[in-house]
Structure 1
């Protein structure tokens, strides 16, 4: 079944990065919903079919383990270790990460060739966009984060990967939309302002 040009454009225009999700206890995000988003992701364009993307869908145990990594990095950046403020930021960050309905890590297999590596990153970004659009179609919000947790050694250990083989390029925080985030970042420069039609 085909989708009309108008419907597709409306879907693309409507998608937003979202930070507020309904509690996972009340509105859990199912494996089937995540699977449909991943199915959309793997159909992204990729030069010479390198298929450089890799995905890790965190279960409760791994999410809990990485919550402390996320919180430590966040607290260390914002306050002096050992202070009450540091502890308060740490505890709040643990709660925030644990409360994420689902977390999907996205990685890029690192090709030796520099040009291929650049092309593969673009392909992975396209895969993430596909995933986000499929999620949005289902009423699921996504935040694509590139925070410090992606560089942490503990994160690579948790997913049993080596940073010189696979580079983590995104932590996707996903959940059923809470409230209306459609007005966020709604401005775009007109096509005429960013395009030249050449003879």
Structure 2
């Protein structure tokens, strides 16, 4: 248990990683950790899109399409935005998009499906850290945009939850937490 608590305490968001391939067996271990997350009614609502090499271009095209269409860009400006989108998608050797594909059912609540998928993502971040990788959980407006969903073939009720960029860290990071006592309210009687 001490090892797990230490792993949780030492995991940090690391956006700058080395351009070195992540072995498939490590990718599977990261996905497996996510797949064992809890979900209400055991619905397991997550779906993974694993992107390496040129496979990251799908994400880059989605980034580009969103920027180009929002700005109404054409010509050189559109080409520049397309290049920026590609660069964003290639910031790490491994990118895993994690979507919530909610299960339909009488007792299934969408909020719980998304919560389960975020638990899945946290498990994946911890597994990546345990394997010696740095990772960053990216979202923002493009992640939630309908055009991003379309790029990955997601349905109307599905939701992109995370874009995980994973690779060997260029630098280690530390962080300071607020005192735990400031976050607790004891209700005992």
Specify the SS of the correspondent of 1:58.
Answer: strand
The Cα of 1:157 is off from its aligned counterpart by 4.3
Structure 1 runs of 4+ aligned residues shifted over 6 Å read none
Evaluate the alpha carbon distance shift between residue 136 and residue 75 of structure 1 in structure 2; reply closer, same or farther with a 3 A threshold: farther
Specify the SS of the correspondent of 2:109.
Answer: helix
> Given the two structures, how large is their TM-score scaled by the length of structure 2?
0.83
Does structure 1 residue 188 correspond to structure 2 residue 177?
yes
User: Which whole-Å CA distance do the structure 2 matches of 1:159 and 1:60 have between them?
Assistant: 17
Q: Paired residue for 1:20?
A: 16
**2:11–2:126: 8 Å Cα contact kept in structure 1?**
yes
Q: Paired residue for 1:161?
A: 154
Q: Paired residue for 1:54?
A: 47
The Cα of 1:93 is off from its aligned counterpart by 3.3
Q: Paired residue for 1:104?
A: 96
Specify the SS of the correspondent of 1:63.
Answer: helix
User: Which whole-Å CA distance do the structure 2 matches of 1:140 and 1:74 have between them?
Assistant: 30
Is 97-106 or 84-93 further displaced after alignment? 84-93
Does structure 1 residue 117 correspond to structure 2 residue 110?
yes
Q: Deviations over 1:144-175 (max 9, x none)?
A: 112344345554444333233x2211111111
**1:46–1:120: 8 Å Cα contact kept in structure 2?**
yes
Gaps of 5+ in 2: none
User: Which whole-Å CA distance do the structure 2 matches of 1:17 and 1:74 have between them?
Assistant: 25
**1:62–1:158: 8 Å Cα contact kept in structure 2?**
no
Alignment coverage as a number of residue pairs: 187
Gaps of 5+ in 1: none
**2:62–2:151: 8 Å Cα contact kept in structure 1?**
no
Q: Deviations over 1:165-195 (max 9, x none)?
A: x221111111111112x22xx1222121111
Could you tell me which of 140, 160, 165 is aligned with 1:147? 140
User: What RMSD, in angstroms, separates the aligned Cα atoms of the two structures?
Assistant: 2.6
Q: Paired residue for 1:42?
A: 35
User: Which whole-Å CA distance do the structure 2 matches of 1:97 and 1:15 have between them?
Assistant: 23
The Cα of 1:108 is off from its aligned counterpart by 1.0
The Cα of 1:123 is off from its aligned counterpart by 1.1
Q: Deviations over 1:40-90 (max 9, x none)?
A: 11111212211111111125444223312213434666x672486665454
Specify the SS of the correspondent of 1:105.
Answer: strand
Evaluate the alpha carbon distance shift between residue 156 and residue 196 of structure 1 in structure 2; reply closer, same or farther with a 3 A threshold: closer
**2:62–2:147: 8 Å Cα contact kept in structure 1?**
yes
